[in-house]
Amino acid sequence: MSTTGPELMVRRPVYQQDELNHLCKYVKPKRILSNEMSKQCKNIKPVAFLKKTIPLIDWFSSYDWKNNILGDIVAGITVAVMHIPQGMAYAILGNVPPIIGIYMAFFPVLVYFFLGTSRHNSMGTFALVCMMTGKVITTYSNPAVLTNNTSVENGTLISDVNHQYSPVEVATVVTFTVAIIQLGMYVLRLGIISSLLADSLVSGFTTSAAIHVFTSQIRDLFGLSDLPRRKGAFKLILTYVDIFNSINNINITAVILSCITILALIFNNEVLKPRVSKLCPFPIPIEMFAVVIGTLISMQMNLADTYNVITVGDIPVGLPVPSVPPLSLVPDVLVDSFVITMVAYTISMSMALIFAQKEGYEVDSNQELIAQGLGNLVGSFFSCMPITASLSRSLIQQTVGGHTQLASLISCGILMCVLLWIGPFFEPLPRCVLASIIVVALKGMLIKVSEFIKFWRLDKMDAGIWIVTFIIVILFDVEYGLLVGILLCIGRLLILATRPYTCKLALAPGTELYLDTKRYKGTVEIPGIKIFHYSGSLNFASKQYFREEVYKVAELVPRKEFKKQLQVTYNSTIVEEIKKLRILVLDFTALSHIDLAGANAVRNIVDEYRGVEVSVYIAGCSGPVYETLRKFNLVEHNKNHFFAIFPTVADAVHFARSHSEVPSTWNTCTHDENDYDGQARAERLSRVIITLFGVVGFVWGYAIQQFSQTIYILSAGFVMAALITVPPWPMYRRKPLDWQKPQFEVVPKLKKKK
């Protein structure tokens, strides 16, 4: 193999690991518990701890008022305008009164303003979380029950004696449970748990959940007030069956309003928005315009009474009275709340990391848990559903110039005015307008279906997780899909942990590089030496896989070899030597960790191969791995050179060639004639021949209606392809590789001075 770049030549002794440790003064780092605790205590600084606990103190003390205040004011106003229509729409999606969405944009956001580490996340309502909460509300609530647990149904008073709850009460207990789970995760420092959800899982789950959200809005889009709410498996399919059966009950006025609103929103997002962004940094508040215009039209035309259009209804004025959620319902909603917690935290953390990487600041995953947990805890006393970050609002907040969470504080101030004075104005608003806003906002979630192609190209296992999660969510429900997806992700981690990457290494001629023989066809195996490469962790879970892979690479199972030797001795016959293996090298350069079970597996391998007179050498183990092997007394198994540890694979091979019966030279001429261009040309030609004969055979067999003729012609194609491409014809050997002749030199080991 000719080289045109700089060459490298190193002359040094062949080292064993102990010799190199002695030469370089290897010392195991000592960790004394008292010193570690003392160091940690010295690092605790009250001011820094306070800034870390309340991030507002950190960034507000260094706030650039001159350059950032204007952008934060504009971002706060813009986000507040988006909060009003989205909050009302997503509250209806969650089966609670529209005003709840405004509460969610106020109380929890104020808490996040003090404790959150993301400077651009816009917390509040989000379609997926609201839909999942709405499912729990539908299961455990009775819409006829009022907030004080009393209602009149068919002339009979219903009280809390029958344990019936209002939708708002169920929403608050879900929020309270989510808060407790998040705070518990913070105490246990489980912020890293969001990384267990693979990107493929999040993408497939989000896409399929968006279809659920879209389906839930068809009721309001078409004005189907009597459409039943399905539960259980296949509810999505059954819902569309109900829609088809109710096609005669569609409210034409609601459909017209929905179409006009959707077309206006799409026209703004696809046509006006890109052009306006070039002229002005402020986006057109099209959702707010749609809400105001829809309200005015409904008031002027009296749509509710004249055309039976469903409207938002009563919106109370002022702030809600704080109340304790019904804690007796916590055990019933615990599982659903945990699923909501995982989804909400994963969404907010993923967006926080995106903005942090883009803007160059750090996000603390554990601090985000306490910020969202306390935000939900406070919100649970003020009739709120669980909060998370919204991608659309967060992007707008960052795009229009928002720099910090001061924009959220300004947004809360504007929403306070809405809660105190402006709320009743939106009572005549048609619900089909809010449903149209939700449907258009789902575009970003629905287009994630195209990510399946990307996952299929990059990793088939990720693509499998995506499609399985998607199908389970569509056929059953969101919690089942998320559960199955999480189990698949955990299963994938277990597979990767118990079946890490292994391969057989061979020498690249003219170098001291040892490469994977399956991927590098030009490598040369050294007679009598097998080199096994192992990556990952060697522990109790992977020790059996390690043993099996060693046997495959070595091509020799010691027990079977020992039986063959006994049989030869018993028969007293003189036969040729059974085995060719002399040295087995275990390359541990990529071994990250080994426990006692793994060390025991290595020791058993050494003992088994020593029983059939095969030496086992370990190469490239890291410091912690070497120390574990020493604790297991493996380094003392060095009698007659049957075991040794070397710093590199090259040291192990050179040592084997100079101290064993392995030939010092070997013939590599079999690789001199390799022509990979010719091989590729032969492969392409064989494919063309077989394909051509297959097409001709199919057409001819179809024409005469004889499938046997197709088989005969295809078989002839295989024979012709073999005759043309299998023999080493000169046309396939025009560009042989020009390998350098291997040059090996073993420098005798220097004797230690006594």
What was the pLDDT predicted at 749? 44
Instruction: Give the angle subtended at the CA of 41 by the CAs of 35 and 43, to the nearest 5°.
Output: 105
Cα gap 549→561, rounded to integer Å:
17
Q: How confident is the model at residue 157 (pLDDT cuts 50, 70, 90)?
A: very low
Backbone angles phi, psi at 388, to 5 degrees: -160, 180
pLDDT in tens, 408-457: 999 999 999 888 888 888 889 898 998 898 888 888 888 888 889 999 99
Q: Quote the distance between the C-alpha of residue 332 and its chain's center.
A: 29
Question: DSSP for 256-302?
Answer: HHHHHHHHHHHHIIIIIHHHHHHH-SSPP-HHHHHHHHHHHHHHHHT
Total Cβ atoms within 10 A of residue 640: 9
What was the pLDDT predicted at 673? 53
Q: Where does residue 189 fall: left (phi above 0), alpha (psi -120 to 50 degrees), or beta otherwise? A: left
Structure tokens at 582: 């002399």
Cα gap 521→126, rounded to integer Å:
53
Residue range 458-479: mean pLDDT, rounded: 90
pLDDT in tens, 10-51: 788 888 888 888 888 888 877 666 666 777 676 667 777 788
Q: Which is more confident, 227 or 648?
A: 648
Q: What is the rounded average pLDDT for all residues in the chain?
A: 83
Residue range 142-170: mean pLDDT, rounded: 56
- Is the pLDDT score of 250 beyond 60? yes
Structure tokens at 631: 């604790």
- Is the pLDDT score of 635 beyond 60? no
Q: How confident is the model at residue 671 (pLDDT cuts 50, 70, 90)?
A: very low
**pTM > 0.85:** no
What was the pLDDT predicted at 253? 93
What was the pLDDT predicted at 746? 43
Residue range 454-483: mean pLDDT, rounded: 89
Residue range 576-584: mean pLDDT, rounded: 67
| 132: nearest Cα among 232, 209, 189 | 209
Q: Give me the torsion for CA of 549, 551, 555, 559, rounded to 10°.
A: -170
